[in-house]
Structure 1
């Protein structure tokens, strides 16, 4: 009986270690094995030489036909097309469109470029709130906030007044209702924009309304 139990314990330990090392090997392959970018779909999506479509985590660039879409796509293309990139996955590895979700890295000489962060820092897109993939949320929100403060990229080109930038505040209140505030509104100064809570900056009222935000009281 004791021999049987010992044998069973050994089998369980072996199976446990096999799973652990299997997961480690897969993560090692994903991160350290490079893949070549063969196509840039838009500012936040690429295709790799192994056939996979990769969507950058926590960044949302303009869609085709929207303000700054072509510029964002070009910068993304100049950055990664034809180059070898490395991927890092988070908790949720795929979206409902079948695209793989990843943090993407590019080696430029001795410098490693975190593509998601770089594009946000340059104002190529907005921070996109992912409630599951949170590993680099702090880094990416800071990058997005920096670009907005400095009126970079779309925050300059898509503003109704380029001198002032995109100043419309989109805020989600405690009742989960979405309101947008113009600079002239009475609660504008006390309204916070917390990207980690789903709040957003908008360049126009039309953009805010399209995102499901309603005009707050003046």
Structure 2
């Protein structure tokens, strides 16, 4: 699960972010480069949830625009300091909203891997907004202010991630990368695994990252960026 709702024209900020993507410090999976003219403005299909802000709409992989949900492996705290699995809760919430539902998504752009950035609706409900309203996603304020007001309401109500201390997903990913790269060759912290499921790469914040034993003699590889992994024929791990 990666940042959504990026600007659709290059800016000074966009160029800086792009540079960070290329060196692997930030995820490459949601930088909006604008959609292709031959892609439909409205995408429809039955939903299948990947994580708290990513789903398949029919055959199309969609990243919900304007929000950022906690990663599957991410935990948060209650007001009493108890730990709970907010990343799993976010994915569960999105399943309630979108799994096996007939969805209609307004395409806002695409990322560099041709995944669609979109606002999706089920029975007229804005799914992106509903995730923030439930306190199970942040408004990704660096790139979008669409759901800032909704986030403020959730904060004031102290629901979801706002019931106690919570680390923003983008900070969680950055910190997990920094920890992982200390033990990775040349700071290339992405694990390319080879298993009965094929060639799959794992980001440092993926649930199974620590369980992947990097035996290079079995064809496993380290990657410095997702772009390198995909170009080499690996596909991203799916939490479900």
TM-score normalised by structure 2 residue count? 0.47
Contact 2:52–2:91 under 8 Å retained in 1: yes
Provide the secondary structure at the position in 2 that maps to 1:35. strand
Alignment RMSD (CA, Å)? 3.0
Higher radius of gyration, 1 or 2 = 1
> What are the Cα deviations for residues 31-61 of structure 1, in whole angstroms up to 9, with x where unaligned?
6xx3111x21101000122x21100001111
Contact 1:56–1:103 under 8 Å retained in 2: yes
1:36 pairs with 2:43: no
Contact 2:138–2:151 under 8 Å retained in 1: yes
TM-score normalised by structure 1 residue count? 0.52
Query: In the aligned structure 1, how far is the partner of 2:57 from the partner of 2:172?
Result: 32
Give every structure 1 segment of 4 or more consecutive aligned residues whose post-TM-superposition deviation is greater than 2 Å: 206-211
Query: In the aligned structure 1, how far is the partner of 2:88 from the partner of 2:60?
Result: 23
- Displacement of 1:101 in angstroms is 0.2
Structure 1 gap segments, 5+ residues each: 1-22, 161-165, 167-201, 212-218
- Displacement of 1:97 in angstroms is 4.0
Query: In the aligned structure 1, how far is the partner of 2:89 from the partner of 2:113?
Result: 24
Query: In the aligned structure 2, how far is the partner of 1:116 from the partner of 1:69?
Result: 16
User: Quick one: structure 1 residues 56 and 208, their matched pair in 2 at CA, closer, same or farther if it must change by over 3 Å?
Assistant: closer
Contact 1:58–1:130 under 8 Å retained in 2: no
Contact 2:72–2:91 under 8 Å retained in 1: no
Pick 1 or 2: higher relative contact order, CA cutoff 8 A, min separation 6. 2
Q: How does 1:1-218 map to 2 (within 5 A)?
A: 26-27=40-41, 30=42, 34-37=44-47, 39-49=48-58, 51-67=59-75, 68-90=86-108, 93-107=109-123, 112-129=124-141, 131=143, 137-138=145-146, 140-156=147-163, 159-160=164-165, 202=167, 210=175
- How many residue pairs match? The answer is 129
Provide the secondary structure at the position in 1 that maps to 2:100. coil
User: Quick one: structure 1 residues 207 and 101, their matched pair in 2 at CA, closer, same or farther if it must change by over 3 Å?
Assistant: closer
- Displacement of 1:98 in angstroms is 3.2
Query: In the aligned structure 1, how far is the partner of 2:114 from the partner of 2:174?
Result: 28
